[in-house]
Amino acid sequence: MKRTVAEINQKIKDGDVVVMTAEEVIPFVQSEGLERAAKEVDVVTTGTFGAMCSSGAFLNFGHSEPPIRMQKVTLNDVPAYSGIAAVDAYIGATELKEDDHAEYGGAHVIEDLISGRPVRLKARSSGSDCYPRKDIDTYVSLNSINQAYLFNPRNGYQNYGAGTNSSERTLFTYMGKLLPNYGNITYSSAGQLSPLLNDPTLRTVGIGTRIFLGGGTGYVAWEGTQFKTNVETQSDVPMGGARTLATIGDLRGMSSDFIRALRFPGYGVSLAVGVGLPIPILDENVLKATTISDDQIFAPIIDYSVQSRNRKPIKHASYAELRSGKIELFGKEIRTSSLSSYLKAKQIAETLAQRIENGEFTLTEPVAPLPRERGMGTLEVRSKEEAI
């Protein structure tokens, strides 16, 4: 059985497309068999909702009277990068408010904008003949600014490590609060619903793929930062962090239901981003990949008290084990908890499925593939001569 994206889009247009979520398709294939199910199902939808620190938004404020070339910009006292053009800025999700209390940051600014709340814009400049104004203090909103779009360099990690802590003190990390003496284990993945785990070799995903992003429509813009393929796999499924996506989408149309600011006490701020990927069922092999279940996906458990990039996994645990609420480690039961929301991931997959069924969302073919092979380098202390 083979079908094309164009054929699926015609079925969407005709109103007779068959869509299932990655959770629903597992028992369906078990019941009907792969060959028959592949003839029935046209699209499988996925979803994930969790902290994606490598996120941010490009904003264009428009020109003031007289005009200003913004050199130092803050939004609600959170610094934004303005070395782009006169009135463009990029606000990073993890940038912190200037008072440095680590409770409000760029993620909150993005959520405020999406929610329709006013944001205080302050900008300074040295002034020039063509941009004479030297400062401005005003309020902006999503209604008043021009372009406003997420551009997230790294979203949708294909699997990720779980965190624990063997030391005698509590650790405050991007994996949350890790209690001493292996007091808990935290993890962050939608497992069997996670987008890139359902297409592990990226057969259907590439540059230009249309996705659900933050409640609206987005696109895959490029490979994500830290994209790598040289990881241990089991049945093509990575057993740790591997491929990632750079994503882009208009803030207008997004919702704070699927874009939320997060604060990690003792660490900082991040942005929870909802991402949903529709997988066109082009053949039986594509469908088979979407039937992966939590008991078949394994995450490495990492000791975050080891302060090295070369931390070795203590063991691998399946997402079925992680979701059970406890794991045995060194002969004792350790509590587990998720930093991502499976409930939200399921809602994203269901919402995307409904939009496809209603003809509101069609599929796109990638205009270029993402890398089939990619390693990831490291940062070393080098001399100028060594850096060449």
Residue 102 has pLDDT above 90, yes or no: no
pLDDT confidence band for 1 (50 / 70 / 90) = confident
CB 21 within 8 A of CB 238: no
Please tell me which residue in 130, 368, 387, 388 is annotated as part of the active site: 130
Residue with tokens 């080098």: 382
Residue 21 phi, psi dihedral angles, 5° rounding: -80, 165
Residue 101 has pLDDT above 80, yes or no: no
Average pLDDT over residues 36-46: 98
pLDDT of residue 68: 98
Choose one of 99, 121, 145: the last residue of a domain.
145
Count of domains forming the chain: 2
Tokens of 379: 């940062």
Residue-averaged pLDDT of the chain: 97
Nearest to 295 by CA among 316, 321, 314, 315: 321
Residue 384 lies in a domain: no
Average pLDDT over residues 110-128: 98
* Domain span holding position 110: 62-145
DSSP state, 343? H
Q: What is the pLDDT of residues 159-170, one digit of tens each?
A: 999 999 999 999
Judgement on whether residues 67 and 48 belong to the same structural domain of the protein: no
Tokens of 290: 């979407």
Nearest to 277 by CA among 349, 202, 368: 349
Percent of residues, the chain, with pLDDT higher than 90 = 97
Judgement on whether residues 156 and 134 belong to the same structural domain of the protein: no
Please return the burial class of 168, using the count of CB atoms within 10 Å of its CB with bins 0-12, 13-18 and 19+. exposed
Judgement on whether residues 319 and 294 belong to the same structural domain of the protein: yes
Judgement on whether residues 351 and 244 belong to the same structural domain of the protein: yes
Residue 377 lies in a domain: no
Choose one of 120, 145, 170: the last residue of a domain.
145
Residue 337 phi, psi dihedral angles, 5° rounding: -150, 150
In the annotation, is 53 catalytic? no
pLDDT of residue 235: 84
Residue-by-residue DSSP string for 259-286: EEEEEETTTEEEEEEEEE-EEE--BHHH
Judgement on whether residues 259 and 315 belong to the same structural domain of the protein: yes
Residue 310 phi, psi dihedral angles, 5° rounding: -100, 30
Tokens of 216: 């609206």
Q: What is the pLDDT of residues 226-279, one digit of tens each?
A: 999 999 999 889 999 999 999 999 999 999 999 999 999 999 999 999 999 999
Judgement on whether residues 125 and 165 belong to the same structural domain of the protein: no
How long, in residues, is the chain?
Answer: 388
Residue 24 phi, psi dihedral angles, 5° rounding: -70, -30
Average pLDDT over residues 121-142: 98
Q: What is the pLDDT of residues 288-306, one digit of tens each?
A: 999 999 999 999 999 999 9
Cα→Cα distances 179→167, 168, 266, 322, 325, Å: 9, 9, 13, 17, 16
